[in-house]
């Protein structure tokens, strides 16, 4: 029987997600699977990702394993993927999306973002969440936070934080949904590109990669195409506080996107709607509207600030 080797990061969440996909492949394709856990540069290095090199730090070693034949497929969190991929590789499947929203976990439990006290200390490792928190609640003290999900939950207690912001999907996949005190409405915090989406990557034209397309979910694939269309058009990396969320509307998608200065202002927004089959073009169109509506100037300012 064929054994499919699946590359994954070594965090609890990454391993849980890879096991989910391995189980589905075994069920649907009647194959055996083997996980290939890899510690990425992003996992090894401390400090803010914006200062270390961006999202690609979480996929570099995994893609190298695909390219040199140590793995047949890779399972990624969609929001970790950079705008561009190696030419030899492709994203072949997007399984059904989990909750795309951000999750607020508070101390004591039962809190909500709008009700946090003035000056409350809120931890996050995301520049997008930092910017949107400052836009929605400029009175909060936003604290930089790194580490896997269990580590961040421990830091809520150990570092005297009042709340932390994580992804609903990650908590759910780790069986920690009961820790979610508020699923933050997109109107307050628009989700990251492909948040809650798993992406299956393989070698272009490889029979195993083609077979793995059976894992894909039609709506989720359209959402990923729309949201990643924004990312790709902007050429954005993790230095850019970018959010994009494609919401299903019958046979159409409503795509909302924004770029925010890390301070919380200015914020540039754009949105559009199109049939599922035009999702990628919708993403490009909304990104172009972002650029024309002030996003180009904001991106230039962010680039200048990063270089100064």
**In sequence order, what DSSP letters do the residues of the chain get, joined into one string?**
--EEEEEE-SSHHHHHHHHHHHHHHHHHH--EEEEEE---HHHH--S-HHHHT-GGGGTHHHHHHHHTTS-SEEEEEGGG--S---TTEEEEE-PPP---SEEEEESSSS--GGGSPTT-EEEES-HHHHHHHHHH-TTSEEEE--S-HHHHHHHHHHTT-SEEEEEHHHHHHTT-GGG-SEE--TTTSPPPTTTT-EEEEEETT-HHHHHGGGG--HHHHHHHHHHHHHHHHHT--TTS-EEEEEEEETTEEEEEEEEE-TTS--EEEEEEEEEGGGHHHHHHHHHHHHIIIIIHHHHHHHHHHHH-
Residues forming a β-bridge with 166: 103
Q: Which residues are catalytic?
A: 80
């Amino acid at each position: 029987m064929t054994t499919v080797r699946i590359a994954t990061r070594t965090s609890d969440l990454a391993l849980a997600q890879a096991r989910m996909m391995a189980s589905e492949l075994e069920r649907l394709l009647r194959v055996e699977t083997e996980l290939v856990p890899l510690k990425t540069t992003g996992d090894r290095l401390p400090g803010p990702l914006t200062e270390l090199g961006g999202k690609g730090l979480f996929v570099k070693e995994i893609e190298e394993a695909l390219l040199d034949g140590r793995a047949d497929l890779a399972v990624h969190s969609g929001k970790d993927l950079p705008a561009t991929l190696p030419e030899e590789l492709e994203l072949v499947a997007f399984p059904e999306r989990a909750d795309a929203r951000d999750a607020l976990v508070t101390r004591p439990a039962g809190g909500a973002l709008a009700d946090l006290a003035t000056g409350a200390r809120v931890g996050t490792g995301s520049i997008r969440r930092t910017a949107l928190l400052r836009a929605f609640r400029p009175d909060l003290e936003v604290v930089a936070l790194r580490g896997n999900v269990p580590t961040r939950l421990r830091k809520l207690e150990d570092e005297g934080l009042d709340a932390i912001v994580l992804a609903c999907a990650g908590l759910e996949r780790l069986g920690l949904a009961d820790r979610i005190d508020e699923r933050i409405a997109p109107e307050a915090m628009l989700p990251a590109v492909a948040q809650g989406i798993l992406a299956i990557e393989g070698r272009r034209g490889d029979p195993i990669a083609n077979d793995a397309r059976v894992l894909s979910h039609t709506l989720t694939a359209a959402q990923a195409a729309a949201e990643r269309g924004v990312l790709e058009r902007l050429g954005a990396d993790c230095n850019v506080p970018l959010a994009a969320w494609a919401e299903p509307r019958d046979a159409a998608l409503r795509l909302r996107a924004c770029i925010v200065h890390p301070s919380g202002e200015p914020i540039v927004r754009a949105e559009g709607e199109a049939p599922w089959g035009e999702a990628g073009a919708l993403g490009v169109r909304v990104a172009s509207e972002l650029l024309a509506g002030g996003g180009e100037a904001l991106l230039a300012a962010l680039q200048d600030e990063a270089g100064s």
